[in-house]
Chain A
Amino acid sequence: MGMGSDMYRQQILDHYKNPRNHGELEDPTFTHTGENPTCGDTIQVDVRLEDDGDTIEYVAFSGDGCAISQAAASLLTEELPGKTLEELQAMDRDDMIDMLGVDISPMRIKCAVLAEKVAQDGAKIHTGEIEIETTKTE
């Protein structure tokens, strides 16, 4: 069997059809958006930090696009609460692929990592490390 069927195991379809924490936060500590220009996937990630200003309390996402990009965002909103910003920045694409629990074909990696990259860039903008308008993955 090729990657296709593996890639659409129940978990991804479930998160795509029933996205968790979907919508916008009323009082986010920071919010950031990103896109895959070639695919047309868009993701907005809203993050609220706890009073220590470092621990992630709650994450929501909104957006539009393929099942991989949207399911990845949904999974991420469940994974991040409790992590510190440093732990968020330490995440890489393998963490995202582990979370998805499936092989992602090379051309679809950019879909899988979009939400993670948006969350990381959003945090970096919040802490003043970078200054960008939107995140783009290729």
Chain B
Amino acid sequence: MGVQESEPLDVERIREDFPILERRVGGDVESPGEGDGDDTPLIYLDNAATSQTPDQVVDVIADYYRSYNSNVHRGIHSLSQEASVAYEQAHDRVADFVNADGREEVVFTKNTTEAENLVAYAWGLAELGPGDEVVLTEMEHHASLVTWQQIGKRTGADVKYVRVDDEGRLDVDHARELITDDTEMVSVVHVSNTLGTINPVEEIADVAHDHGAYVFVDGAQSVPNRPVDVKAMDADFLAFSGHKMCGPTGIGVLYGKREILEEMQPYLYGGDMIRKVTFEDATWEELPWKFEAGTPNIAQGIALAAACDYLDDLGMDRVETHENQLAAYAYDRLTEHDDVTVYGPPGDERGGLVAFNVDGVHAHDLSSILNDSGIAIRAGDHCTQPLHDKLGTAASARASFYVYNTREEVDALVEAVDEARQLFA
């Protein structure tokens, strides 16, 4: 899945789908977009946290609430049938987006974090015990790191971390050492949300499977940004979030191989996930509903399918190329100055983000100053505290790109960083 030669994205046209990109910022935060002070054009470079939502997806949400808002599964009336069909078909659409075998393999969750927890609780608590090992990487997001760490404490299983080398790449030899026949689960982030590193998940999956372990791929930063094929990587589980891929908040996905999901017990109990209930016992609905207890995020699920349509229309190969080019450009421009440290591998090996620090300017100060130029970046530990400890810094600034970002916006970022540097000189 290397970067492919293809027609570049028509960014100018794409931007028309995102009216929010036209807004100005800087005014009273309690009246978004209305205050007198809202006079600075927005440059949105916080896409790894949450991407913007195109009109095509917003329209699907509005259309749901305006024309067929209703609870799913339970109703026989027209609205409920319409909502049910749309909600169920959304699972098929999302399955297709990552090349899964249909809705049975696609569980809708709240987000990536809930998908991680679902497997950790439903599978981990049941299957793990003393002597078992869970292998993570040092660049895991807290969503997987904290979750497996706590499951380890509760079950007595050991948690081990594959090293990240000085260039920010995963030490695959170390992974081969750590993964043994005692390993039951390997959880690996596909694209690091801090380093931008693209991890060789296919290779890790091979090693895990050679030792009879499952592999859980955190796709929060990869599914939005590049073609992802669960069969090609042979992932047992894959998690991702709608709000990072042109979809709404409140919807995420757990992909799981059908035979594994079938063996797993439910994570949440209640309505919609049962088949037959007596005062003594209950049996479960079929996949994926067994894992979707209670009224789900219906509009958000349907909208996620629309987001998949939107991205597939752009072409995920082209999305990948576009982001990689912006990240490589940002990497080159930022590292023109010796006082800038960019974390992770060189520009041509990374996903669409750059985390960095400027000597003498705290990341939070940098973010505040950039905000003054309308530039939205993230500053903090990006939910990878142990990795930041290893990098020797409490916080970093992170710019992350999406389909609507331009080289000019990267230039504006670099210019604003220069201003901050001068202010603090």
A positions within 8 Å CB-CB of B: 1-5, 7-8, 13, 16-17, 38-40, 65-68, 105-106, 108, 111
Contact = CB atoms under 8 A, between A and B. Distances in A.
Contact of A108 (B37, B364, B370, B380): B364
Interface string B29-50: 1000000010010000000000
A2 B395 contact: no
B26 interface: yes
B380 A4 contact: no
B395 A106 contact: no
B371 A2 contact: yes
16 contacts: A1-B37, A1-B372, A2-B25, A2-B40, A2-B371, A4-B369, A4-B370, A4-B371, A4-B373, A5-B369, A16-B424, A39-B364, A67-B424, A105-B29, A105-B371, A111-B364
Contacts of A108: 364, 368
Given A1-B372, A13-B423, A108-B368, A39 B26 contact: no
Interface of B: 25-26, 29, 37, 40, 362-365, 368-374, 380-381, 393-395, 423-424
A5 B37 CA distance: 13
Closest 10 CB pairs of A and B: A40-B394, A4-B372, A2-B26, A66-B362, A66-B364, A2-B372, A67-B365, A5-B372, A4-B368, A4-B371
B380 A38 contact: yes
B368 A105 contact: yes
Contacts of B37: 1-2
Contacts of A17: 424
Contacts of B25: 2
Interface of chain A: mostly helix, strand, loop or mixed: helix
Residue among B363, B368, B423 having the largest count of chain A Cβ atoms under 10 Å: B368
A2 B364 CA distance: 16
A1 B369 CA distance: 11
Nearest to B416: A4
A88 B25 CA distance: 37
Given A13-B424, A38-B380, A40-B394, A3 B372 contact: yes
A106 B365 contact: no
A136 to B, nearest CB: 14
Nearest to B38: A2
B189 to A, nearest CB: 21
B368 to A, nearest CB: 5
Contacts of A38: 380-381
A72 B373 CA distance: 24
B100 to A, nearest CB: 36
Nearest to B39: A1
Contacts of A68: 364-365
